[in-house]
Amino acid sequence: MNGPINKQSVVILIGPPGSGKGTQAELLAEKFGLFHLESSKVIEEKIKNADPNDEILQKEKGLWESGKLNTPELVLEWIKEKAKEVASEGHGIVFSGSPRTLYEAEGEMPLLEKLYEKDNIKIINIELNEEESIKRNSKRRICKDSRHPIPNFPEFENITKCPKDGSEIITRLLDNPETIEIRLQEYANRTVPIIDFLKKRNYKIMETNGEQPIEKVFRDILEKIN
């Protein structure tokens, strides 16, 4: 049932803020030629190209710019649209921030199963305890141009430019201590239930310990999915 990863695979990474989902997704995308589908980028793309006369999109733009959550129904539609586009181009997908809620999981899984077949969909749960998540998020950095996450590991501590595109590194405003608590709570209440949903749908959830160094987590993921 669990065949190796290839260009027709889908990998879904689940994990709390700071678990390194984005970093692992980038590594998987690079190694297997998968498209890294990030909800934030999908939303940003929609909003950047929003027609000034499109009232719905303008309202979403306002939400986005004020840091509020976009309308779940629309975000789900946009993610599904993007998944269809990527599938039609013949690429697999690695997800690092979606599904984020049961609502998204219920909407996305049937489509992904139709596009890629269930056996080609791998689910990885990157575990990280709350204390470590808070510690990592309290100094989370991203690059200004492409929002590449700068991993919170010693080997990246002293860099000042993004290793991928050389752009400036900024600290995400989202990540002050109260916001982290809220995000962790949201994760526990809204994202963790996805795991049960997927188990009931007969998915095997592969688990890895997110406290390990990046390379080790990556090797662990490769061993488990292949």
> What residues line the site for Zn ion (CB under 5 A)?
143, 146, 148, 162, 164-165
CB-nearer residue toward Zn ion: 139 or 144? 144
CA 211 from centroid of its chain's CA atoms: 18
CB-nearer residue toward Zn ion: 44 or 165? 165
CB-nearer residue toward Zn ion: 118 or 147? 147
CB-nearer residue toward Zn ion: 164 or 219? 164
CB of 171 to Zn ion, least distance (A): 14
The tokens of 75 are what? 């975000």
CB of 91 to Zn ion, least distance (A): 21
CB of 173 to Zn ion, least distance (A): 17
Alpha carbon dihedral 27, 29, 31, 32, in 10-degree steps, equals 150
CB of 170 to Zn ion, least distance (A): 11
CB-nearer residue toward Zn ion: 4 or 166? 166
CB of 163 to Zn ion, least distance (A): 8
CB-nearer residue toward Zn ion: 163 or 193? 163
The tokens of 140 are what? 């989370």
CB-nearer residue toward Zn ion: 16 or 22? 22
CB of 37 to Zn ion, least distance (A): 18
Q: Half-sphere exposure (CA, 13 Å, Cβ side) for 52?
A: 0
CB of 165 to Zn ion, least distance (A): 4
Q: Please state the three-class secondary structure of the chain as a single string.
A: CCCCCCCCCEEEEECCCCCCHHHHHHHHHHHHCCEEECHHHHHHHHHHCCCCCCHHHHHHHHHHHCCCCCCHHHHHHHHHHHHHHHHHCCCCEEECCCCCCHHHHHHHHHHHHHHHCHHHEEEEEEECCHHHHHHHHCCCEEECCCCCEECCCHHHCCCCECCCCCCEEEECCCCCHHHHHHHHHHHHHHHCHHHHHHHHCCCCEEEEECCCCHHHHHHHHHHHHC
